[in-house]
A and B are shown apart, each in its own frame.
Chain A
């Protein structure tokens, strides 16, 4: 254990963040402003997620961090070791063993359970931001439930590409009230947001916003009647574990056009391989 207070932040700060989290849980999808602290990492690396994780962690928790689904990339490794050192909590890579999972850009493939908390790192919490740059105006639009503009974005997609080309950070409507940016998860993951038994917390450090989905919240992806929402993934199965139902990364393996598709969720892939599943590219 180090000389840091448990989980790096001081108790007053954690209290302040917990208050914002509770308010967010009380108003699902509403962006709660909070006094984001400077963290020992650059903005864009998950300062919001780290602060939320620090506020919800207890010494008994088992912590997991994923970055684009993987447990072993720089961002995931750094944040995991950060909390190992400052909080001394146990860590794991197994989804079902973890009690708090901090994630960047993915929702784990394995179904989440009651008692788990999923913490998202959010770069830009405002789904209307690129259409309406004025914060005063977007706040008013949220409070008056004026969401026609969100469909203008989808309209533009269809008029330009023939289909809704937004493939990540796909806007959703929470409990038929707030339109929310689900952070840059692929739209493949959008259906998992809805009716999820785990608590989902979203933290945006630079933008100083926290929002949340309590367990079993109804979350609907926006669409048009004649262009319904479709979760999409690469039309392959995993080269290592042969899973056909998981979200895949495309990996270039040589300079002669060779490529393979592998699960982006490394824990899911390894668990399947351990259970004896073999894909066509498995060594």
Chain B
């Protein structure tokens, strides 16, 4: 089986500082990979390098494209990479504001990706937008409202709908539940889990919340100071942490 995404020795430096160093892993279709670590451990840098938002200093990110098979996204041309970003990839930001157009209605937000890949039939675009709002539990009568009138949880769900409407195969998520209260988090996680399973998505989730990866991720990487210190199956890593830092991380979770 060809991995959907094969990351080899990704390194990104910020001057003398290390963003992330020598990170390698394979992600197979339908698999969800969690990346955890404390703030400043290089999780987001790694995610941005993989998603093409940052150019890594070294390493390759090989994505199994629909048409041409495995391609290195680091060296492919920018139009191709941006095309991937609109079709096969999706990126869910921590703050919905970064991923949404706040001045455009919910329907327009969902429809943007469709129009970006050439949809030119208003009725079809709108039907699809309403369908997707329904799938992320936003009432159809909110389709013409702007995201500024939505709650934080709704904005996050709208961002997810906007990203998934073109049927991507790989979703990058940067702290998708950050800044939401626990009950809203729980519903969002439930929704994400359902969508990932139904659509057979592969996902890479960056978070510092171990509960999120426990629920969603099949595999887990633990990062510290830009390096991967431990990786393995989620339950294995969380229940039997080997590295001292992972042990610290697992034991730091507050028990209620």
Residues of A within 8 A of B (CB): 131, 144, 146, 148-149, 151-152, 155-156, 158-160, 224-227
Contacts and interface: CB of A to CB of B under 8 A. Distances in A.
Nearest to B143: A159
B17 interface: no
Interface string B97-140: 00001011101100111011110111101100000000000000
Contact of A156 (B82, B86, B105): B105
A149, A152, A158, A224 interface centre (most CB from chain B within 10 Å): A152
B144 interface: yes
A79 B82 CA distance: 46
B79 interface: yes
Contacts of A225: 120-122
Interface of B is mostly: helix
B115 A148 contact: yes
B82 A149 contact: no
A131 B118 CA distance: 18
A156 B143 CA distance: 11
8 A-B pairs closest in CB distance: A148-B116, A148-B115, A151-B115, A224-B122, A225-B121, A144-B79, A152-B108, A152-B112
Given A144-B82, A152-B101, A224 B121 contact: yes
A225 B105 CA distance: 21
B2 to A, nearest CB: 28
29 contacts: A131-B101, A131-B103, A146-B116, A148-B112, A148-B113, A148-B116, A148-B117, A148-B118, A149-B112, A149-B115, A151-B120, A152-B115, A155-B107, A155-B111, A155-B126, A156-B105, A156-B108, A159-B105, A159-B107, A159-B108, A160-B105, A160-B144, A224-B120, A224-B121, A224-B122, A225-B122, A226-B121, A226-B122, A227-B122
B78 interface: yes
Interface residues on B, range: 20 to 34
Interface of B: 78-79, 82, 86, 101, 103-105, 107-108, 111-113, 115-118, 120-123, 125-126, 143-144
Contacts of B117: 148
Nearest to A227: B122
A227 B109 CA distance: 19
A148 B113 CA distance: 7
Contacts of B115: 148-149, 151-152, 155
Nearest to B80: A144
A151 B107 CA distance: 13
Determine which residue in B101, B103, B108, B143 has the highest number of CB atoms from chain A within 10 A of its CB, and name it. B108
B117 to A, nearest CB: 7
Nearest to A223: B120
Given A148-B86, A159-B107, A226-B123, 5 more contacts: A146-B82, A148-B116, A149-B115, A152-B101, A152-B115
Contacts of B108: 152, 155-156, 159
Contacts of A227: 122
A144 B78 contact: yes
Contacts of B104: 131, 152, 156
Contacts of B122: 155, 158, 224-227
Nearest to B79: A144
A225 B112 CA distance: 16
A224 B123 CA distance: 9
B143 to A, nearest CB: 7
Contacts of B105: 156, 159-160
B159 to A, nearest CB: 16
A74 to B, nearest CB: 34
B244 to A, nearest CB: 44
A158 B194 CA distance: 33
Contacts of B107: 155, 159
A156 B105 CA distance: 7
A169 to B, nearest CB: 18
Question: Which residue among A151, A160, A224 has the maximum number of chain B CB atoms within 10 Å of its CB?
Answer: A151
Nearest to A158: B122
Contacts of A155: 107-108, 111, 115, 122, 125-126
A149 B116 contact: yes
Contacts of A160: 105, 144
